[in-house]
Chains A and B, each alone.
Chain A
Amino acid sequence: MESNLYKFCLRLADTSFILSYRLGEYVSHGPFLEEDLSITNVGLDLIGQAESLFKYAAEIKGGGITDDDIAYKRDESEYLNFHLVEYPNEDFAFITVRQFFMDVYNYHLFTALKNSSDPTIAAVAAKSIKEVNYHLQRSRKWMLRLGDGTEESHNKIQYAVNELWKYTDELFDMDAIHKSLIEEGVAVDLKEVEKSWIKDVLEALGEATVTKPEHVKHSLVYGKNGGHTDFMGYILTDLQYLTNRYPDAIW
């Protein structure tokens, strides 16, 4: 039976990890060279965040397991990332909205987690917040450029917001694991994070002349509980290709 803290770590780590996977996939596909390089920097920050948390998870789990073992050698149902970050790089609008939703979330989450009673979590949050602050500045500005750019870009960004909105309720869900960690002072109240998230997101959507869609809840088990979209299987097939094919190899 894995500890709550271990699961909490993985929820954070896997979300950053899978999002960095998507950004890694986008390298050399950007709309122009400068943007290609900038978005890769975001991906690199996210791998760094994931790595710190995988290290901590490995420490919690013990028994000589490594961060790479955890990152690469689990079954799909043991990955605990949000559905939102599994969503493919459909186009630059989807990439931007996905990033913006996550950046606002991470900004408020990590700001609160800086005061976590767990010193490692607090330290990761304190380091990450500087990076996230920058990511948010970037993705927010892109929301405005695309929303208030041309008719075509406006339609594309509105469509991406409509499609991705349904994945956002997972971000604020608090199950028994989460609640017990709040009591220990490790995790934070996601209702508070949600309030700030909604405020910031609505403000940006307003500036970007994009409308908030009606909330439709989908019925899939949340990623943070090990349920995944169809996209996840393909991600893992690719990500785990070498470690599956050559389980004994060191790279």
Chain B
Amino acid sequence: MENSKNLEVFQAKIDAEIKIEPKDWMPDEYRQHLIRQMSQHAHSEVIGMQPEGNWITRSPSLRARKILMAKVQDEGGHGLYLYCATETLGVTREQLIQWLHEGKAKYASVFNYPSPTWADMGAIGWLVDGAAIVNQVSLQRTSYGPYSRAMVRICKEESFHQRQGYEIMATLMEGTAEQKKMAQEAFERWWWPSLMMFGPHDGDSPRSSNAMKWKIKRETNDDLRQQFIDKTIPQAELIGLKIPDANYKLLENGSYETSDIDWDEFWNVIKGNGPCNTQRIKQHAAAHDNGQWVREAAIAYNEKKEQQLKSA
């Protein structure tokens, strides 16, 4: 009985747009949904450091180098904000990392694609960050307070990411024939994966309905995807990139119609068969394992100092 009254109060708060805070009562399913979604979001930011980190040392100018390094650092920061927000739900960061390494937690499949050229730095910033921003802007209004606050901060910081990516693409499209080719190919590589980032059609999304009822999610996958498509196609055309979709067309309402996504590819990468799934987790696990003695040293040192302070 207690539970059903709690549930009523909880839903009333959600309906009144009052944020849920860590100490508030919440249904276990809500908590589990958040842990899954927020940690997946955090892992995506952190794993997302890899395809771009891949090019930091090869950045072709001092300016590009600073920007890329600062950008990848931001991704790490965003992962960190999200890990901390997830921890308010009563789960530790160690646990979250362990689940990632064991394959129990997912991250955005888009990061399982390789970044073979400098133009991929442009395409990732412009398309992948661009898609992420559409989603994150919407999540600023999510019902869980710490998640919402993290999103507000992240959106503020991310605004430069998409611009840096688009700037790289625009510069390449003004450059030599080789550079243009590089840009077009990278665009083709990342176009479909970035559309996949919004997830399956809402009808095929197993957990969509509760997430909407609880206002964890504020807009549907398909709506968000459409917003992204409508913003991005004109940007691509402006700098002379060809949309890798023979059937796309502008509708009278100003929106674009596009071909359907190759969902077999989508599910295949989610299942772990993307080109870089193993590589990404291996690198993360290696860094984590190589860091163990460092973390242990930091713990031991602090304990020693606190002991000394006590006995002094």
On whether A and B touch (CB less than 8 Å), the answer reads yes
Q: Which secondary structure dominates where chain A touches chain B?
A: helix
- Tell me the residues in window 30-70 of chain A with beta carbons closer than 8 Å to chain B beta carbons: 30-37, 40-41, 43-44, 47-48, 50-51, 54, 67-68
Tell me if B80 and A37 are in contact (CB < 8 A). Answer: yes
Question: Which residues on the B side are within 8 Å of A37 (C-beta)?
Answer: 73, 76-77, 80
Tell me if B58 and A238 are in contact (CB < 8 A). Answer: yes
Given A47-B62, A249-B175: A31 and B80 interface contact (C-beta under 8 Å): no
Tell me if B175 and A250 are in contact (CB < 8 A). Answer: yes
Instruction: Say if the beta carbon of B250 comes within 8 Å of chain A.
Output: no
Number of A-B contacts (CB under 8 A): 138
Instruction: Say if the beta carbon of B290 comes within 8 Å of chain A.
Output: yes
Q: How far is the CA of A248 from the CA of B178 in the complex (A)?
A: 11
Tell me if B66 and A249 are in contact (CB < 8 A). Answer: no
Tell me if A251 and B291 are in contact (CB < 8 A). Answer: no
Instruction: Say how far A238's CB is from chain B's closest CB, in angstroms.
Output: 5
Instruction: Say if the beta carbon of A242 comes within 8 Å of chain B.
Output: yes
Tell me if A54 and B69 are in contact (CB < 8 A). Answer: no
Instruction: Say if the beta carbon of B171 comes within 8 Å of chain A.
Output: yes
Instruction: Say if the beta carbon of A150 comes within 8 Å of chain B.
Output: yes
**Partner-binding segment picked from A1-9, A140-148, A164-172:** A140-148
Instruction: Say if the beta carbon of A137 comes within 8 Å of chain B.
Output: no
Q: How far is the CA of A37 from the CA of B72 in the complex (A)?
A: 9
Closest to B79 in A: A33
Given A145-B298, A246-B176, A250-B175: A25 and B56 interface contact (C-beta under 8 Å): yes
Q: Which secondary structure dominates where chain B touches chain A?
A: helix
21 sample A-B contacts, Cβ–Cβ < 8 Å, listed by A number: A24-B57, A25-B57, A31-B287, A31-B294, A35-B291, A37-B80, A40-B76, A47-B66, A47-B69, A50-B62, A91-B290, A92-B291, A149-B297, A149-B301, A150-B296, A152-B297, A156-B293, A242-B118, A246-B176, A249-B179, A250-B171
Q: Which 5 A-B pairs rank lowest in CB-CB distance, beginning with the nearest?
A: A31-B291, A149-B297, A153-B297, A31-B294, A242-B60
A residues sitting closer than 8 Å to B (CB atoms) are 21, 24-25, 27-37, 40-41, 43-44, 47-48, 50-51, 54, 67-68, 71-72, 91-92, 144-146, 148-150, 152-153, 156, 238-239, 241-243, 246, 248-251
B residues sitting closer than 8 Å to A (CB atoms) are 46, 49-50, 53, 56-58, 60-66, 69-70, 72-73, 76-77, 79-80, 83, 118, 168, 171, 175-176, 178-179, 283, 286-287, 290-301, 304
